[in-house]
Amino acid sequence: MPAILEVDQLVKKYGDFEAVKGISFNVDEGEVFGLLGPNGAGKTQTISMLTGVIPPTSGTARIAGHDIRTEMNEAKKINGLVPQDLALYPTLSARANLNFFGRIYGLGGKDLKERVEDVLRIVALTERADEAVEKYSGGMKRRVNIAAGLLHHPRLLFLDEPTVGVDPQSRNHIFESVMRLNRERGMSIVYTSHYMEEVELLCNRVAIIDEGKIIALDTIKNLIALLGGGVIHVGLERVDDGLLERLSALPGVEEAVLMPQPAPPPLAEQEDPEVKEREPVTTTPIIKVVAVNSQQAIVNVIGFLNEQDITLTSLEILEPNLESVFLHLTGKKLRE
């Protein structure tokens, strides 16, 4: 299947700060592709470069063969953008807003009217289309935002965190709209989110992005398979010399590594007399046990710790999902 989007070593810098660090990926025609990562990971910066909102510092991308650095006007005819920020006139109705944006796209007459009615059906707002947008819930406003991005019938749609702050009903409408656009119209979709359950529901393949870099890219099934037989977090009272090596050698265990400890508070906060009066934050060591066989690993790890008289303070078995994959790869949670 041909790629409708080819991203090649895309970089975005602001002075010395590198927000996007040379990422590359392809999106196939007709695919729903997920960009999953925490806030600040570089997802919106990436989408903004691909849609012409900001220029890349280096690298490039091609949308249906059109280079975004030299043929952005042609690329914009093919893609649609639904940004995080709402771009609507609150005193106008949803239908009036869509008519306005349609005319910006160069649409008019019967064609514009039919397209407005079409996108209103897609986002399930036909019955309330003549009410002022300012009377809508946050979720309904986001659905109008999505409708505006669909008016020119894009082959590739970029949805940037479309469910942030929306009510459950609107969230479900957005999911249904994404699936219908892909299933019935063959639309290619790039969907960014920091909600792993959304990406698991909607996307064929996922790129996990963190600190401006893609750290994993595959189908959801293959990404979850990175966990092998499972991952167990074991909290201990102490970690003796050689403990990790001995745990790693147990039957059912592939690897045992010490999880990073939280960073100490900033120096200014340490010197604040009010802060000194508070109870100190204590943390116990946590070992990540990557298991070949979770049940066997748990039994053997607990048995070994009892033999060594090492107190177990906590035990967490990670569910096999993208949240666990992200934690496994980065040592931190997706929504920290």
**241/158 Cα distance (integer angstroms):** 50
Q: pLDDT tens, 233-274?
A: 999 988 988 999 999 999 999 889 998 765 555 555 455 555
Residue-range domain boundaries for the chain: 3-223, 231-317
**Looking at residue 264, what is its pLDDT?**
54
With 90 as the cut, is the pLDDT of residue 26 above it? yes
At residue 294 the predicted structure's pLDDT band, cuts being 50, 70 and 90, is: confident
**97/117 Cα distance (integer angstroms):** 12
Query: What pTM was computed for the model?
Result: 0.78
Q: Which residues pair with 139 in a beta bridge?
A: none
With 70 as the cut, is the pLDDT of residue 182 above it? yes
At residue 281 the predicted structure's pLDDT band, cuts being 50, 70 and 90, is: very low
Neighbours of 270 (CB within 10 A): 10
Nearest to 82 by CA among 192, 234, 6, 5: 192
pLDDT (average), residues 185-198? 92
Amino acid type, 127: E
In 3-state terms, what secondary structure has residue 51? coil
Q: Are strands 66-67 and 58-63 parallel, antiparallel or unpaired?
A: antiparallel
In CATH terms, the fold of domain 3-223 is: Rossmann fold (3.40.50)
pLDDT (average), residues 55-79? 95
Least confident stretch, 77-91, 168-182, 260-274:
260-274
**126/129 Cα distance (integer angstroms):** 5
Q: Which H helix or E strand runs over 5?
A: strand 3-14
With 80 as the cut, is the pLDDT of residue 36 above it? yes
Give me 6's structure tokens.
């080819």
Specify the DSSP class assigned to residue 317. Answer: E
Least confident stretch, 170-179, 254-263, 272-281:
272-281
**160/34 Cα distance (integer angstroms):** 10
Q: pLDDT tens, 116-165?
A: 999 999 999 999 999 999 999 988 999 999 999 999 999 999 999 998 87
**280/333 Cα distance (integer angstroms):** 23
With 80 as the cut, is the pLDDT of residue 195 above it? yes
